[in-house]
Amino acid sequence: MNIIWMLVWIIVLFCVVMLHVAYATYFERKIIGRMQVRIGPMRVGWYGLLQPIADGVKSFFKEDIVPERADKSVFLAAPIICLVAMMTSLAVLPFAKGWVLADIDIGLLFVFAMSALASYGVVLAGWSSNSKYSFLGGLRSMAQVISYEIAMGMSLVGVMLMAGSLNLSEIVEAQGDSFLGMYLMPQCIGFFVFFISMLAETNRVPFDLPEAETELVSGYSTEYSGMRYAIFFMAEYIGMMVMASIGTICFLGGWNGPFPVPFFPPLWFVLKVYLFMFIFIWIRATLPRYRYDQLMGLGWKLLIPVALANIVLTACVKAVIG
Amino acid sequence: MTRPIRQHLEVPVADGDGERYSLRMGPQHPATHGVLRVDLELDGETIVECTPQVGYLHRGFEKLAESKTYAQGLILTDRLDYIAAMANNVGYCVAVERLLGIPVPMRAKYIRTIVGEMSRLCSHLLWLATHALDIGAMTVFLYCFREREILLDLFEELCGARLTFSYPRIGGVRQDVTGWFIDELQRFIDIFPSRIEEYETLIDTNRIWLKRTVGIGKITGEEALDLGLTGACLRGSGINYDIRKHQPYDAYDQVEFAVPLGSEGDVYARYRCRMEEMHQSIRIIQQCIDQLPPGPIVSPEAPELVMPNKAKATIQAGRSEYGTSLIRLIRERDIFLSGDVYVATEVPKGELGFYFISDGNNRPYRMHIRSPSFIHIGALSQIARGELIADLIANIGSLDVVLGESDR
C-alpha cells in the first residue's frame, strides 16, 4: 500500500515538475523579452500561454536524427541519463514541512551525486556524437562541472556546519521561521560562492560555455534533434530548478515565510525558487560570456579559496560561540 | 554512389600523433557573419593555424558590371555591403562622377553626406549588435536593432527601400529629402547619444567584456598597414587615416569632425573606435542638417535616367525601351573619356575603392572593387594564431567583415 502511495506521489511530482519546466521556458522568454524591448511569445493561446505546449508537441513530432558515424547506443542513452539524474534529485527536496518523497539523512550529498551524474550525460553526448563541436562542448562541460562541483560543495559545508545535518528538512528547520534565521546573512560568503557555482553548474550565462552557440554552434547538443534535444533542454531546466531549490533550502529558509499559508504550504518555497529563476534570467539578459580559461581561473583561483576560507571561518565561529 | 562526396566532405585529421586536429568552422556557423569558412588547426582549443576561405557568396559583380552601363551598374553596389548599401552607392557615384567629370550640386552633396553617415550608423549598430552577441551579451543585440529600425524607417521615407537603396545617382541624388525626414532625423540624433550610453552601461566597463576584449587580437600599427587594413581596424592601432578627412569627397570638407584613434590595436580598441565614430557621425549629420543649402539635387550635366514606359517596354520585348534609351542618352552626350580612375571612399568597414578602366564606351571596360572586408578577412589568420576559439569569434566580430562585400 505504501509503495502505491509512493508511486502516486512520484507521478504527481513528475507531472507538476514537468509543467513547471514547460512554463519556466515561457517565464524566461517573457521576462527576457521584456528586458530586451520585445514582447516574447504572443501567438499560441492568450498572450502565448500555450507556447510551451506547442513547443513540446513540435519537438515530439520532429524527426529524430542519429548521425551516421555516431556511437548509436550511447548517443541515444545520453539525454536519458541527463534527465533521469536530474529528476532523481527531486526526490529528496522538501517542498514544505513533510512534503518530501525520500526524507533521507544525506539529502544534500545525494543532490550533488545526481548533478554530477547528469554531467555524464553531457560528456557522453559530446563524445558519442562524433562531431568536433559536440566533443569540445562535452570536454568543456566535464572540466567545468568538475571544478565548480568542488567550489559548490565547499560553499555548502558552512551550511552543514551551522545546521549540523545533511538532511535538507533539518537544514530548513535549523533556520527557523524568522527572517533573521536564514543562513543568507551568516553564510553570505558561502552564498556568493554557491550562487556563482550554481550558474556554472547549470550551464547558464555567463558560464554557458558547453553550449556557447556562437563558438560551438550548440556544444554537446549540436547533433541532437527533436525529442532528444528537448530532453536535454528539460534536464537543463530541471537542473536550474533543483539548484534554485538547494539555494532556497540552504540559504533562504526553505518553505518558511513571513506568515504560514495553511491551504498551500509550499507557496513560499515556490516563490523563492522563482526568485532564483528570475535572477538566472536577469543575468542571462545582462552579461557576456566568459572564456573557457578565464572560467577555470575564476573557479580555481577565486571561488575555491574563498569557499575554503568560509569553512574555516564558520568552524571557528561555531567553536567559539558553541 | 554518394561515397566520394562524403569522403570529400569529411573533416580531415591533421597528423598522426593525435595532438592536433582540424576543425572546419563555417560556412554554416552562427558566428561567421554570413558564409565565411575558417579552416582551423587546433591544439586543444588553441588555434595553431587559421585559414579563412571566402567565395561562397561570389556573384561575379565585377564581370557583370562590364555589360552594364554606368547608370545600371549602380544597383550592383547595393549588394556589396548590404548592411550599409547607401555608402556603397555613394562610393560608386563619386567614382563615376570623377571619371566622367560630372559636377554635383551642393545640396546633393550634403544629402549624400547625411545618408552616408546614416549608413555608417546602421553598419556600426549591426556590428555592435553581432559583436556583442558573439561574445554573449544578448541584450545589446536587440537594443541596437531598436535604433537601426528608426534609421531604416528614415531610409524608407527617403527612397522607399530598406535594404537595397540605389538612392544616389550619378550627378546627384534621386529624390529630395522631405520635411518629415529632416524632423525625424533631428529627433533621432537628439536621442541617439543617450542610447549609445545605454549600450555602454551594459558592456563598456563590464568585467567580463573587458576580459574578453582587452589584449585580444592585437595588431600593431605597422602590421595593420602591411596587412592593408583600413577603417576602424587601422585607426584602432593608432594610425590616423580616414579618407573623409584626408581626401574629402561630398561635403566632408565642409563639416567638422574628429577621427577617433585607438592605441592598443586590440579588440577593445577597435570597439572603442567604432563607438566614438558613432558620436562623430551624429556630429556630421547635425552639421549637415544645419547647413543644408537649397538648390537642385541633380546636376544638369548628369546622364538622364528615364524609367521605361511600361507598355512600350513590353511591346519591344527584344530590345527594351529602358536599355536603349539609356544607351542613347549616354551616347549622345559623348563625354566618355578613355583612361582609368581609382576613387576611394570611407565606408563603415574601411576604404572602399572603385577602379574603372574606360575605353570611351558607355560601359566600363573593367571595374575592380577594392572591398575592405576581403582584405580584413585576409588579416584574420595572422591575428588569430595562438589564441583560443573564443577569441577567434571576438576577432571576426571586431574586424567587421561582410561576406557580400568580400566575395562580390
CB–CB of B54/B407 below 8 Å? yes
Q: Is A288 on the interface with B (CB under 8 A)?
A: yes
Residues of chain A with Cβ-Cβ distance to B212 below 8 Å are 288-291, 294
* pTM as predicted: 0.83
Question: A132: nearest CA in chain B?
Answer: B23
With beta carbons less than 8 A apart as the criterion, state whether B30 and A213 touch: yes
Residues B179 and B35 in one domain: no
| Domain identity same for A220 and A239 | yes
Residue that terminates a domain, selected from A28, A46, A61: A61
Split into its structural domains, chain B has a count of 2
pLDDT the model gives residue A212 = 65
For residues A9 and A95, state if they share a domain: no
Let me know whether B162 and B262 are in one domain: yes
Report helix, strand or coil for A106: coil
Same-domain pairing of A216 and A285: yes
Residues B179 and B255 in one domain: yes
Q: Is A279 on the interface with B (CB under 8 A)?
A: no
Q: Kindly state whether A143 is in contact with chain B, defined as any CB-CB distance less than 8 angstroms.
A: no
- CB-closest option in B23, B202, B389 to A286: B202
User: Are A133 and A51 found together in one domain?
Assistant: no
- 3-state DSSP percent of chain B in helix, strand and coil, to 5: 50, 15, 35
Pair B40, B142 in one domain: no
Domain match, A53 and A146 both: no
Same domain, B47 and B131: no
Chain A residues whose CB is inside 8 A of the B208 CB are 206, 287-290
Alpha helices in B267-388 (DSSP H): 267-291, 310-315, 321-333, 372-384
Same domain, B161 and B47: no
Mean pLDDT along residues A90-99 = 82
| Cβ distance of B21 and A215 shorter than 8 Å | no
User: Taking 60 as the threshold, does the pLDDT of residue A66 lie above it?
Assistant: yes
Residues in B closer than 8 angstroms to A214, CB to CB, are: 30-31, 133-136, 393
Whether pLDDT at A218 is above 50? yes
The label of the residue with cell 568536433 reads A132
Phi/psi at B169 (nearest 5 deg)?
-135, 170
User: What pLDDT is recorded for position A177?
Assistant: 66
Whether residues A51 and A18 fall in one domain: yes
Domain with B29, as residue range(s), is 3-53
In a domain, B329, yes or no: no
B329 burial type by CB count under 10 A (0-12 exposed, 13-18 middle, 19+ buried)? middle
B76 is a domain residue: yes
Q: Positive or negative CA dihedral for B104, B109, B115, B117?
A: positive
Q: A196 with A91, same domain?
A: yes
Interface contacts (A, B; CB < 8 Å): 78
- Grid coordinates given for B297: 539635387
- Give, as one character, the DSSP assignment of residue A64: -
Helical (H) or strand (E) element with B358: strand B350-359
Comparing A70-79, A169-178, B352-361, B398-407, the range with the smallest average pLDDT is: A169-178
Same-domain status, B66 and B48: no
B 108-167: CB under 8 A from A: 132-139, 141-143, 146
**Residue A94 and residue A203 in one domain:** yes
Residue A58: is its pLDDT beyond 70?
yes
Angle between helices A107-128 and A72-88 (to 10 degrees): 160
Question: DSSP H helical segments within chain A, as ranges?
Answer: 2-35, 51-61, 72-88, 107-128, 132-163, 168-175, 188-201, 213-216, 226-251, 267-286, 292-297, 304-321
A:168-197 residues touching chain B, CB 8 A cutoff: none
Name which residue leads in pLDDT, B145 or A178: B145
Does residue B146 share a domain with residue B22?
no
Number of domains in chain A: 2
* Structural domain containing residue A120: 63-321
* Pair (A103, A247) in one structural domain: yes
SS3 of B226, please?
helix
- Name the CA dihedral angle for A225, A231, A236, A241, rounded to a multiple of 10 degrees: 150
Other residues' Cβ atoms within 10 Å of the Cβ of residue B56: 16
Residue B146 is nearest to which of A37, A205, A289, comparing CB atoms? A37
Whether residues B39 and B154 share a domain: the answer is no
pLDDT surpasses 80 at A234 = yes
Residue of A nearest to B397 (CA): A214
- Cell (9 digits) for A294: 578565464
Backbone angles phi, psi at B41, to 5 degrees: -110, 120
**pLDDT tens readout for residues A124-168:** 888 888 888 888 888 888 888 888 888 888 888 888 888 888 888
Q: What is the pLDDT of residues A1-36, one digit of tens each?
A: 788 888 888 898 888 888 888 888 888 889 888 888
Q: Which residue from B48, B186, B41 is spatially nearest to B114, judged by alpha carbons?
A: B186
Please judge whether A291 and B30 are an interchain contact, meaning their C-beta atoms are less than 8 angstroms apart.
no
Share of chain A above pLDDT 90, in %: 0
For A244, A247, B223, B374, the CA distances from A277, given in Å and listed in that order, are 7, 11, 48, 44
Asked if A212 lies within 8 A of B390 by C-beta distance, the reply is yes
User: Could you say which of B27, B53, B79 is where a domain stops?
Assistant: B53
Do residue B100 and residue B24 come from a single domain? no
Is residue B74 domain-shared with residue B168, that is, in the same domain? yes
B323 located within any domain: no
| B chain contacts of residue A294, beta-carbon cutoff 8 Å | 211-212
Three-class SS of residue B18?
Answer: coil
Both A48 and A88 in one domain: the answer is no
pLDDT in tens, chain B (408 residues): 344 444 444 444 444 455 777 888 878 777 777 788 888 888 877 888 888 888 888 888 888 888 887 777 888 888 888 888 888 889 898 888 887 777 888 888 899 999 989 999 999 999 998 888 888 888 888 889 888 999 999 988 888 888 888 888 888 888 888 888 899 899 999 999 998 988 888 888 888 888 888 888 888 888 888 888 888 888 888 888 888 888 888 888 888 888 888 888 888 999 989 999 999 999 999 998 988 888 888 877 766 654 444 444 444 444 444 444 444 444 444 455 667 888 888 888 888 888 888 877 777 888 888 888 889 888 888 888 888 888 888 888 888 888 888 887
Question: Closest to B138 (Cβ–Cβ): which among A216, A285, A291?
Answer: A285
Integer Cα distance of A312 and A5 in angstroms = 44
CATH of the domain at B140: 1.10.645.10
- B137 and B18 part of one domain: no
Whether residues B29 and A37 touch (CB distance < 8 A) is answered with no
Whole-number Å distance between alpha carbons of B388 and A95: 44
At B7 the pLDDT is 43
d(C-alpha A90, C-alpha A96), whole Å: 13
Distance between CA atoms of B27 and B34, rounded to whole angstroms? 7
Hey, are the CB atoms on A214 and B134 less than 8 Å from each other? yes
Does the residue B340 lie in any domain? Answer: no
Same domain, A233 and A259: yes
A297 and A226 assigned to the same domain: yes
- For residue B338, the model assigns a pLDDT of 67
